[in-house]
Structure 1
Amino acid sequence: MSLNFFLKAYLRMAAITAAVLLICALLFNGINTVREQDWHEQVSAPVLRWLAMAPDPVHQYHWMVPMVDLRTAPPASFGLSPIVVERLGYGQVVAEPTDSGYGFYIRLADGDVLGMHLEHPHGDLARIISLLVRWHLDTSPGDQKEAVAALLAEALNLDIHLVQHVEELPDQQALERLEDTGLTVFQDGWNERALIRLSEGALVVVTLPQPFNPWGWPIVALLLVVVGGVLALALFLGLRFVESHLRKVESVVVRIARGEMGARVESENGTLVSRLGASFNSMAEHIQRLVQVQREMIHAVSHELRTPVARIRFGVQMIEPGSTREALDKQLAGIDGDIQELDELIDEILTYARLEQGGPVFSLKEGAVTDIVRQVVAEQRLIRKGVEIECCISERSERWSMADMEPRYIHRAIQNLVGNAARYASGRVLVSCHLDEDNCRIDVEDDGPGIPEQDWEKVFTAFARLDDSRTRTSGGYGLGLSIVRRILYWHGGQAFVCRSEALGGARFSLVWPRRKPVDSVL
């Protein structure tokens, strides 16, 4: 995995996470603002409606005035907005945030508005409810207390009952607070309750409204839906991005199948499929090159085979029944030479095809490069009698002569270069070794006409010859140097040509790593 792709993926995930958190925070705050407003109105509505039923609530509940600023006045006196006034006209209870808490309002029957102010809505409302229940129960006759408690419970939508069993009492700390103030609020499991002591000593338990919960199940469910939706959208876009690139690869495959061998995948660097695109393009280039080589080979083979076949046909036609033994032997020797030439051409073609279309299975092993060079030079001296072939190997090269190679193919590559140099040399060929700890280099130089610089790459092309001559004495099929380059390619090296400074002709060089990498697979 490339660092560029990792950083892009990381930044995208970070952006998605930030977007999810931002959306959730906005939804959480926005929805909870509405939910909290609704909770304030819902939880205060029973108390305000109970107070509004009194003929004169401010006078009747005078003890509540200093606690919550309970008062009645026309709507304009409270500075309410038209929307609030309209809602009050529909009989709704309205909660309005203020600088120091909330204001709660309800319209009375005479058109005035009853309002009160709570700094801490939940705690203050719990205290008001508890005091309201105690006040009504304290002012009710003893035989009507249960009926009043039931009426209050129904009107305030609360559970109010007299304590009948010890198990209903809270812990000792809450009882001590009850002893001091006559009222205590305690937690009973999930419920919040108030324990009230009446004037005659009876104890009453009131189940108070639950406080506002910003993490209620509706908001949690909504956030889960939002998170799931955003992640699903991100996954969809990511898969769509990958699919679009895969479709590009698919379209290129279809085009190549139709014969458009030049079609290539265009993909940006650092994407998930960039490596796939690069590998596919490399494969497509290899296939295109193989197809091109096949076409060139078929064309060149058909051309190369015509000459020896034509000579064989001509030689057969020249054989006449009346020919002398000497003429017959001469014709047969020529035919045998042409057959030998065909055999060599077929061997060259098969070797080149095997190297070009994937190469042989090389089993590299340690061997002495200098020994192979001496062997090739000795063999070529026997064949090329008119050419002086010299071998130059320094002591330093002898010290590093052991290298990883496939001896048969290295022998073939050096042999091709030396034979090619001897063919075009005026009289001298120099073969030298330059071996060190890292690389092996073999130079083959001649004193021939050399090769023009513009043709230095062309000479390694299959079936390429710089001259148009093709005779039995000149030899060559245009495959020798191509085979040399492919052998060096499969050794992890390179073959190249330049001008010889020492002899003035051409200098061919073979360079490859002296030791193969530990993890290399050939």
Structure 2
Amino acid sequence: MPLKFFLKLYLRLLGLTVVVLLLCYGLFSGINSVRLQSWQEQYPEPLLRWLAALPNPQDSYHWLGQLHDFRVVPPQNLTLSSVTRERLGYGQVVALETSLGWRVLVQGHHGMVLELQLRDSYREVAESMAYIALAHLNQSLPEQRPEVMARLSETLAITLAPLDDDAMLPADDVLARVSERGLAFYRPHDDSDAATILLRLQDGTLVTLSLPAPFDPWHWGVWMLMLVLVSAVLAAALCLLMRDVDRNLRAVESVAVRIARGELGARVDQNGSSQVSRLANAFNGMAEHIQRLVGVQREMIHAVSHELRTPVARIRFGVQMLDGCNNPEMLQKQLDGIDGDIQELDELIDEILTYARLEQGGPVFTLVETSVTDIVRQVVDEQQLIRPETVIESDIPEASERWALSDVEPRHIHRAIQNLVGNAARYADGKVRVVCQLDESNCRIDVEDNGPGIPEEDWEKVFTAFARLDDSRTRTSGGYGLGLSIVRRILYWHGGQAFVSRSDDLGGAKFSLVWPRKKPVDSLL
């Protein structure tokens, strides 16, 4: 995976994670601030309604002022907003957050406002209700207590019940606090559970006061809302990401359809960076390769039909001449001509098949560490035997012998050098020289001759399949116009190149092969 693409994707995911965390934090804080405000008003509401129903609650429960700064004040003596005053006028319980905790207000008799200052709302409200329940239960007869408990439970939104089962007794420290204060606030399991207050009446009866659950910021509803938010954000991000990918894939698909209709020049637009840029590069490379192969196929069909026509016509003519030929010498001459034409067809087919294999993807090269200088000497010796009339010599400096070993496919490199030497000998004026220049990085082989050379404007044309530069390059001098094309394809699959120039020493053509000495096998497959 390219580093740029990885970093881009990583930064996007990191940014998305930060956005999700910020949204979750904002949603969690915003929702819980509203939930806490509502809970701070709903939880103490039964207590405040109970107090507001009394004509003089501060006299009835004088200890409230000492414990929770309970006051009954005229509304004009309070600094309240218009919204708060309006809510109090409607009889609602209002909770105001302060630096010391929460102020809980409600309007009572004669328009007076009952104010309760709470630091720990859950515990202080619970203990206030426990003291009220303790006072009323102590004032009632034993047979009246069930009715009093039921009335208090309904009015204060709590559950009062006598503790009759010894197995339900709390820990010893709770019982000790009950003995000291008459009540004890405790949680049976952990701080997140609903609390219980154990009351001890004057006659020693134990009563449990069960409270509603405390405020839970991690309520399942909050979890579900955040889960929905995260899912929505991830879905939106995925949609945006996939939209970009889908657009690029559709572009590739559109080009593929155009190519299938015959528009071989269609290419995927690669402007800008995208998640499928590598696919676009590979696709365009494939399209160029297909276009080139189709072009080569058309050229080959046209050229092959032309090249085959002449030997086939000569064979047909020779066969016709055999009919009625009574002269043994003439008969043998026609048979020898037919045999030569068949040999020519065989060589042409071999050249065509070799070129087609190399052009259509090339063979799977098996690289072997081989001495390039040995291959050059072998080719020179073979060609010298075939063409004794031409002087074919090799020029291998001593420094090149040090780097003679190279990763090559010996058979194909031999074929490439042989084609160049044979071609040079065919047009040379008696002399061909093969020069090896090898170093640590590259191999270079130059094949020079003292023939007429090649015009500079035709240097690239000579590597085109079935190309002939002039009338002198006919079948009388040998060749079919495929040899140099095969050479270039062999060098291509070795990661090198073949080119032509003019020989400074001999004055004729100079063909050069250049390829890297060591090349990874994977890059050639």
TM over 0.5: yes
Is the 2:325–2:331 contact (alpha carbons within 8 Å) kept by the matching residues of 1? no
Q: After alignment, is 350-359 or 201-210 more displaced? A: 201-210
Q: Secondary structure at the match of 1:47?
A: helix
In structure 2, the CA distance between the partners of 1:142 and 1:317, relative to structure 1 (3 Å rule), is closer
Look up the match of 1:69. 69
- CA deviations 1:162-199 (Å, max 9, x no partner) are 33343343222223333333332111233311223334
Q: Note closer, same or farther for the CA distance 1:500–1:36 as it changes in structure 2 (3 Å cut).
A: same
Is residue 456 from structure 1 mapped to residue 494 from structure 2 by the alignment?
A: no
Partner of 1:360: 363
CA distance in 2, matches of 1:402, 1:165: 99
| 2:137 aligned partner, one-letter code | L
CA distance in 2, matches of 1:308, 1:169: 117
Partners of 1:267 and 1:273 within 8 A in 2: no
Q: Which of residues 394, 397, 401 in structure 1 aligns to 2:397?
A: 394
More displaced stretch, 481-490 vs 365-374: 365-374
What is the 5 A alignment of 1:253-402?
253-267=256-270, 271-308=274-311, 340-365=343-368, 367-398=370-401, 400-402=403-405
Contact 2:20 2:233 in 1 (8 A): yes
**Equivalent residue runs for 1:92-491 within 5 Å:** 92-141=92-141, 143-189=143-189, 190-267=193-270, 271-308=274-311, 340-365=343-368, 367-398=370-401, 400-436=403-439, 439-491=442-494
Deviation at residue 340 of structure 1 after TM alignment: 4.6
Deviations 1:229-255 (A, max 9, x none): 323333333344333332222222211
- Secondary structure at the aligned position of 1:110 is classed as helix
Distance verdict in 2 for CA 1:243–1:202, change over 3 Å = same
More moved, 235-244 vs 92-101: 235-244
Percent identity among equivalent residues? 61
Which structure 2 segments of 5+ residues have no match?
A: none
Matched to 2:393, the amino acid is: E
| Cα shift at 1:204 | 2.9
Deviates more, 1:27-36 or 1:376-385: 376-385
1:98 aligned partner, one-letter code = T
Matched residue SS, 2:266 = coil
Give per-residue Cα distances to partners, 1:225-279, cap 9 Å, x unaligned. 2222323333333344333332222222211110111222335777543333222
Residues 33 and 511 from structure 1, CA distance in 2 versus in 1: closer, same or farther, beyond 3 angstroms? Answer: same
* Distance across 2 between alignment mates of 1:408 and 1:197: 107
Structure 2 length-normalised TM: 0.88
Give the secondary-structure state (helix, strand or coil) at the position aligned to 1:196: strand
Separation (CA, whole Å) in 2 of partners of 1:495 and 1:185: 96
TM superposition shift of 1:431: 0.9
Partner residue, 1:82: 82
Partners of 2:79 and 2:17 in 1: how far apart? 44
In the alignment, structure 1 residue 500 sits paired with structure 2 residue 503: yes
User: For 1:518 and 1:332, how far apart are their aligned partners in 2?
Assistant: 49
Counterpart CA distance in 2 for 1:193 and 1:366 is 88
8 Å contact 2:100–2:119 — kept in the other structure?
Answer: yes
Aligned AA for 1:349?
I
Partner amino acid for 2:444?
A: R
Assess, with a 3 A threshold, how the Cα gap between structure 1 residues 337 and 30 changes in structure 2: closer, same or farther: same
Corresponding letter in the other structure for 2:166: V
The letter of the residue matching 1:394 is P
Kept after mapping to 2: 8 A contact 1:268/1:274: no
Q: Does structure 2 conserve the Cα–Cα contact (< 8 Å) formed by 1:126 and 1:209?
A: no
CA distance in 1, matches of 2:124, 2:316: 121
Task: Return closer, same or farther for 1:430/1:59 CA change in 2, 3 Å cut-off.
Answer: same
- 1:215 deviates by 0.6
**Stretches of structure 1 lacking an aligned partner (at least 5 in a row):** none
| Partner amino acid, structure 2, of 1:151 | R
8 A Cα contact 2:396 2:437, kept in partner: yes
Q: Distance in 2 between matches of 1:256 and 1:90?
A: 77
TM-superposed deviation, 1:4: 1.8
Moved more, 323-332 or 409-418: 323-332
Distance 2:163 2:375 in 1: 112
Structure 1 partner of 2:514: 511
Equivalent-residue separation in structure 2 for 1:63 and 1:401 (angstroms): 108
- Alpha carbons of 1:219 and 1:201: their partners in 2 closer, same or farther (altered >3 Å)? same
1:47 is displaced (CA, Å) by 0.4
AA aligned opposite 1:232: A
1:50 CA displacement = 0.7
- CA displacement at 1:142 relative to structure 2: 5.3
Q: How many residues align?
A: 522
Q: Which residue identity lines up with residue 494 of structure 1 in the other structure?
A: Q
User: Take 2:62 and 2:366, find their aligned partners in 1: how far apart are those partners?
Assistant: 107
Query: What letter matches 2:492 in structure 1?
Result: Y
SS at match of 1:464: coil
The one-letter amino acid of 2:209's match is V
Q: Deviations over 1:275-325 (max 9, x none)?
A: 332222222211111001111122223343455556667788899979998
Using the alignment, how far apart are the partners of 2:142 and 2:405 within structure 1? 118
Query: Does residue 1:43 correspond to 2:43, yes or no?
Result: yes
Q: Which segment drifts farther, 138-147 or 473-482?
A: 138-147
- 1:28 deviates by 0.5
Letter in 2 for 1:234: A
Residue 403 and residue 15 in structure 1: after superposition, are their counterparts in 2 closer, same or farther (change >3 A)?
Answer: closer
Q: Residues 414-440 of structure 1: CA distance to partner in whole angstroms, max 9, x if unpaired?
A: 121112222333332111223455544
TM-fit CA distance, 1:206: 1.5
| 3-state SS of 2:103 partner | strand
Q: Deviations over 1:372-411 (max 9, x none)?
A: 3233323333444553322223344445545444443323
In structure 2, C-alpha distance between the alignment counterparts of 1:69 and 1:440, rounded to whole Å: 99
In 2, Cα distance between the equivalents of 1:163 and 1:325? 139
| Contact 2:71/2:115 (8 A) holds in 1 | yes
- Whether contact under 8 Å (2:73, 2:113) holds in the other structure is yes
Letter of the aligned partner of 1:278 in structure 2? N
- 1:34-77 Cα shifts (integer Å, max 9, x gaps): 11111111111110111111122233223322433333344443
